[in-house]
């Protein structure tokens, strides 16, 4: 029996893939959950709450690696502080953290800041881990395909769909992010590692329009200019992976994802959009 690896947020979009891949690698996995769950993947589920600290000391006892996937839009820092304090009391486990590309570049100020406060919270949580005195590794990834699927479904329910003008994104497959996290968890602490993004950069409008075509939905798309420093940084590519794509980047494209999740009527449009 190997020393278990603790996964926080193990029942979430990313965490489920991390747990599955760790189990496939032959590792014992302990999953932190706020409620009792039946194990369907061979993992051991333990009850704990990162917001109030209940059950966290027991959850981290006896583990030497923690993959920290848990988080919410506004509570990332508090949850990470709770985890770090408990981990420090238990010993010196290696904390592997998932963050988001652009936390060090996107200023969360001015108009539209509420939509991007997630970036600031992730950056603050990164600092909590880096300054904890514990061994750590942080991977910054771009947004998952699932986020844009939810966004596209929401926008195309409207008779006229507003889309931020000149916003670009580099969505990535969640399982490819999980694979990289597992690789890091099974390795030595490495601090900040290379960012991980999808293989292609898309305009926001192309992501939404391609979904609409695949779902056989016809809508009028209207460009909306978003002002402020945060939006300006997004338009300048502050949310994208810097440098050339290499073997460490994702392989699955948005088109591949749409074929799997929506249908096979997928093609990209490249007309002018300002």
State the Rg of the chain over Cα: 19
Q: For the purposes of burial, counting CB atoms within 10 Å of the CB of 117, is it exposed (0-12), middle (13-18) or buried (19 or more)?
A: middle
Q: Is residue 212 part of a domain?
A: no
> Within a domain: residue 226?
no
- Domain membership flag for residue 243: no
In a domain, 200, yes or no: no
Q: Report the alpha-carbon distance of residue 14 to residue 176 in Å, rounded.
A: 10
Domain membership flag for residue 266: no
pLDDT of residue 272: 38
Write out the chain's pLDDT in tens, 274 residues: 579 999 999 989 999 999 999 999 999 999 998 876 666 678 899 999 999 999 999 999 999 999 999 988 789 999 999 999 999 999 999 999 999 999 999 887 655 565 678 888 999 999 999 999 999 999 999 999 999 999 999 999 999 999 999 999 999 999 999 999 999 999 999 999 999 999 999 999 999 999 999 999 998 999 999 888 888 999 999 999 976 655 457 899 999 999 999 876 555 444 433 3
Q: What is the CATH number of the domain that holds 85?
A: 3.40.50.720
- Is the residue at 253 inside a domain? no
pTM value is 0.92
Residue 39 lies in a domain: yes
Q: Is residue 72 part of a domain?
A: yes
At 20 the pLDDT is 96
In Å, how far are 29, 39, 89 from 58, measured between CA atoms? 14, 18, 11
- pLDDT score, position 243: 67
How many Å apart are CA 254 and CA 198, to the nearest integer?
9
pLDDT at 37: 67
What range defines the domain where residue 134 resides? Answer: 5-143+173-192
- In angstroms, the CA 98 to CA 126 distance is 9
> Domains in the chain: how many in total?
1
pLDDT at 273: 35
Say what the pLDDT of residue 182 is.
98
């Amino acid at each position: 029996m190997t020393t278990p690896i603790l996964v926080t947020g193990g029942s979430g979009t990313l965490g489920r893939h991390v747990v599955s891949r760790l189990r496939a690698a032959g590792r014992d996995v302990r999953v932190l959950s706020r409620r009792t769950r039946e194990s369907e993947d061979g993992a051991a589920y333990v009850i704990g709450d990162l917001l109030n600290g209940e059950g966290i000391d027991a959850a981290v006892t006896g583990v030497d690696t923690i993959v920290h996937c848990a988080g919410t839009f506004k509570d990332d820092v508090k949850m990470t502080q709770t985890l770090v304090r408990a981990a420090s009391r238990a010993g010196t486990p290696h904390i592997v953290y998932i963050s988001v590309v652009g936390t060090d570049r996107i200023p969360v100020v001015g108009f539209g800041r509420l939509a991007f406060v997630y970036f600031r919270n992730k950056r603050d949580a990164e600092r909590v881990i880096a300054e904890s005195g514990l061994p750590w590794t942080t991977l910054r990834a771009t947004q998952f395909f699932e986020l844009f699927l939810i966004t596209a479904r929401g926008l195309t329910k409207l008779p006229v769909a507003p889309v931020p003008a000149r916003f670009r994104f580099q969505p990535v497959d969640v399982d490819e992010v999980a694979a990289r996290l597992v690789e890091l968890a099974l390795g030595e602490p490495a601090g900040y590692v290379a960012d991980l993004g999808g293989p292609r950069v898309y305009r926001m409008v192309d992501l939404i329009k391609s979904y609409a075509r695949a779902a056989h939905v016809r809508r009028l798309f209207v460009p909306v200019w978003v002002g402020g420093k945060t939006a300006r940084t997004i338009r300048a590519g502050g949310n994208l992976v810097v440098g050339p794509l290499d073997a460490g980047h994702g392989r699955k494209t948005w088109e591949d994802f749409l074929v799997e999740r929506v249908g096979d009527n997928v093609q990209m449009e490249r007309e002018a959009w300002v």
